[in-house]
A and B are shown apart, each in its own frame.
Chain A
Amino acid sequence: AQSVTQLGSHVSVSEGALVLLRCNYSSSVPPYLFWYVQYPNQGLQLLLKYTTGATLVKGINGFEAEFKKSETSFHLTKPSAHMSDAAEYFCAVSFTGGGNKLTFGTGTQLKVEL
């Protein structure tokens, strides 16, 4: 069975500071990994995904994530936070044969302060 753990339900950073949101997964088969963002009163929007190949994945709005198989991690980073990055972020996993089902982490609320 697959599972996703997001460390830190709330993360606060200063504007311009590094954003690091942690995600660890458990999967018995090679996973596909996703980060979604949810802005207030909106649905989820894909930030980036890892399927195969290059382990450093770049997404929208300056975010990137690195797939580390040895650490079973897929942490999300952004070098410089902007006020508009304040949102809830979800890490999710799927796998071949899993029927498109996404297994989500519990989410991390990012707050960006002046």
Chain B
Amino acid sequence: EAQVTQNPRYLITVTGKKLTVTCSQNMNHEYMSWYRQDPGLGLRQIYYSMNVEVTDKGDVPEGYKVSRKEKRNFPLILESPSPNQTSLYFCASTVSSDTSYNEQFFGPGTRLTVL
């Protein structure tokens, strides 16, 4: 089954404790990205990757890191989480980095709480 998976689905942590949220897609998609969803703000892009070893900042990249060492995986790293990073996070992928009109496939989300 074609899908985007994220782990963990739920995470409660404390300020400053490094964490990684994994994202994996099995569709051989070039483009992957991370969004955060906050009430009243919709979804905002954190980082994106147009292919292996090619990543760039989105609209709200502060406090986050990413890597793309393999085509299928795009982990989101919070090296020193803070309470303002409490949010619902979504990973998404789409087939091509050259076009902007393809459907994006979203993972099920990771609800992160930073105390």
Contact = CB atoms under 8 A, between A and B. Distances in A.
Co-assembled chains A and B:
yes
Interface of A: 4, 9, 32, 36, 41-46, 49, 51, 90, 92, 94-102, 104-107
Main secondary structure of the interface of A (DSSP, over half): loop
B104 A100 contact: yes
* Contact-residue bracket for chain B: 20 to 34
A74 to B, nearest CB: 14
Nearest to A32: B101
A105 B90 CA distance: 16
B48 A106 contact: no
Interface string B68-101: 0000000000000000000000101010010111
A51 B40 contact: no
B101 A49 contact: yes
B48 A49 contact: no
Contacts of A96: 99-100
Contacts, number: 68
Contacts of A51: 101
Nearest to B6: A43
B26 to A, nearest CB: 15
Contacts of B108: 41-43
B40 A106 contact: yes
Nearest to B41: A106
Contacts of A4: 42
Contact of A99 (B92, B100, B109): B100
Given A9-B40, A104-B42, A104-B43, A99 B107 contact: no
